[in-house]
Chain A
Amino acid sequence: NAGVMQNPRHLVRRRGQEARLRCSPMKGHSHVYWYRQLPEEGLKFMVYLQKENIIDESGMPKERFSAEFPKEGPSILRIQQVVRGDSAAYFCASSAGQIQETQYFGPGTRLLVL
């Protein structure tokens, strides 16, 4: 039973380019959370999605960032026109339900903006 998968594991972008991060939840999980970890900090919530719906995007910057979780395929976190401050580790977690369900984390995507 494969765990949460994220790709790429490492991503290097130049300022102004787009970054696209993918997350495949565990089999049977329909709830996906994205978190960002800046260097030397804890994880900060960005967005919570269920299949085809964004439930809470209160932690996501209003501009340049977007997320989706289509009916088929992985969840995508998209960052347009990246800036150096976007350099961070982005983690995806999935769970089977909304409450009282363990979140299982993927290995993360480490984004470096040059």
Chain B
Amino acid sequence: AQSVTQPDIHITVSEGASLELRCNYSYGATPYLFWYVQSPGQGLQLLLKYFSGDTLVQGIKGFEAEFKRSQSSFNLRKPSVHWSDAAEYFCAVGPSGGYNKLIFGAGTRLAVHP
């Protein structure tokens, strides 16, 4: 069955520190992979996506992610975290059923200390 695992429920980092959020997936074919960010009480904003090609993907707000097929992972990274990055981050995989149905992980809540 297709699934997404985000092992870290909560992560706290200091402002200016580097960040890596983990995402592992189970998928029967070449996946499309996404990272979304959700601020409190808001909808989801797409940070970046991987469909094919270069396995290192650049996104908005200084984020990047690397697709590693051998590890079934798509970890999100940022070299220097800003206080405004505090939010919940969701990894998602698709398509499913031949269209863009997304399967989401449970999310990682990021707190940033000044």
Contacts and interface: CB of A to CB of B under 8 A. Distances in A.
A binds B: yes
A91 B102 contact: no
Contacts of B56: none
A98 interface: yes
B48 to A, nearest CB: 10
A25 to B, nearest CB: 13
B110 to A, nearest CB: 15
B17 interface: no
A41 B100 contact: no
A98 B99 contact: yes
Q: Size band of the B side of the interface?
A: 20 to 34
Contacts of A104: 46
B44 interface: yes
B49 A108 contact: no
B43 A91 contact: yes
A96 to B, nearest CB: 10
Contacts of A106: 43
Interface residues of A, number: 29
Contact of A43 (B6, B49, B90, B100): B90
Interface of B: 4, 6, 32, 36, 41-46, 49, 51, 90, 92, 95-107
25 contacts: A31-B99, A33-B102, A35-B104, A41-B106, A41-B107, A42-B4, A42-B6, A42-B104, A42-B105, A43-B44, A43-B90, A43-B104, A45-B102, A45-B103, A48-B100, A56-B99, A91-B43, A98-B99, A98-B100, A99-B99, A99-B100, A104-B46, A105-B36, A105-B43, A108-B43
Given A33-B102, A44-B104, A93-B44, 12 more contacts: A31-B100, A42-B4, A42-B105, A45-B96, A56-B101, A97-B100, A98-B99, A100-B32, A100-B95, A103-B102, A105-B45, A107-B42
